[in-house]
Amino acid sequence: MRGLVAGVEAVLADGSVHDGLAALKKDNRGYDLTQLLVGAEGTLGIVTAATLRLVPLPATRTTAWAATGDPQAALALLRRFQAATEALESFEILPAESLAAVLAHVPGARAPVAGAHRWHLLIEQTDPRARPRRRISGAFANRSPIRSARWGRHRSTTFRCRSRACRAS
């Protein structure tokens, strides 16, 4: 969502109003106050209005789950994704302890990749064209430092709930 924000109007801590709604396509006047205000989660000011960019509805949403032994390998994979596509929606790194907590507390949950891994990656990309799987697999090429990976196509959500407890809620 952050990338879709073109401009904001916000009330700052001193009561003044920042009017950044007339967003320019490229603005070289200094700090990007719009992104600062959006990323500050209300600590720098209260956003009262926003201008959003319109983008085509993605034809596909592809999610990949990968595992690696160190954050440097994850960073290398992030760079590969950034070079392969501009449609990278999210790239998150999670320690093994986070996955272990989910597996311990969510009935029916199972590890997305086999084996023990120190770090896990959740990667999502959208594409207005219907060929993202090729780009995902290209980023996982044989020179990739990632030990194992699994990916799948989902219509609208990153995760599918497989246990009855999740479906009931």
Among 57, 36, 60, 38, residue whose Cα is nearest residue 48:
38
pLDDT recorded at residue 153 = 42
Nearest 5°: the CA angle 131, 136, 141 is 125
User: Taking the chain (169 residues) in consecutive chunks of 10 residues, what is each chunk's mean pLDDT?
Assistant: 81 90 70 82 87 80 84 87 79 92 91 87 76 52 50 38 41
Instruction: Judge if 37 and 75 occupy the same domain.
Output: no
Residue 169 lies in a domain: no
Residue 40 lies in a domain: yes
pLDDT recorded at residue 166 = 41
Instruction: Judge if 72 and 42 occupy the same domain.
Output: no
The answer to whether 93 and 119 have CB atoms below 8 angstroms apart is yes
Q: Which amino acid, 168?
A: A
Instruction: Judge if 73 and 47 occupy the same domain.
Output: no
Instruction: Judge if 41 and 97 occupy the same domain.
Output: no
Instruction: Judge if 41 and 73 occupy the same domain.
Output: no
In this structure, what CATH number is given to the domain that contains residue 128?
A: 3.30.70.2190
Classify residue 137 as exposed, middle or buried by CB count within 10 Å of its CB (0-12, 13-18, 19+).
middle
Paired tokens of 119: 């770090």
pLDDT recorded at residue 70 = 86
Instruction: Judge if 99 and 148 occupy the same domain.
Output: yes
pLDDT recorded at residue 102 = 92
pLDDT recorded at residue 129 = 65
Instruction: Judge if 6 and 48 occupy the same domain.
Output: yes
| Type and span of the H or E element at 34 | helix 33-39
Residue 137 lies in a domain: yes
pLDDT recorded at residue 40 = 80
Q: What's the predicted TM-score (pTM) here?
A: 0.58
Range of the domain at 98: 60-164
- Buried b / exposed e along 68-101 (16+ C-beta atoms within 10 A): beeeebbeebbebbeebbebbbebebeeeeebee
pLDDT recorded at residue 134 = 52
pLDDT recorded at residue 95 = 94
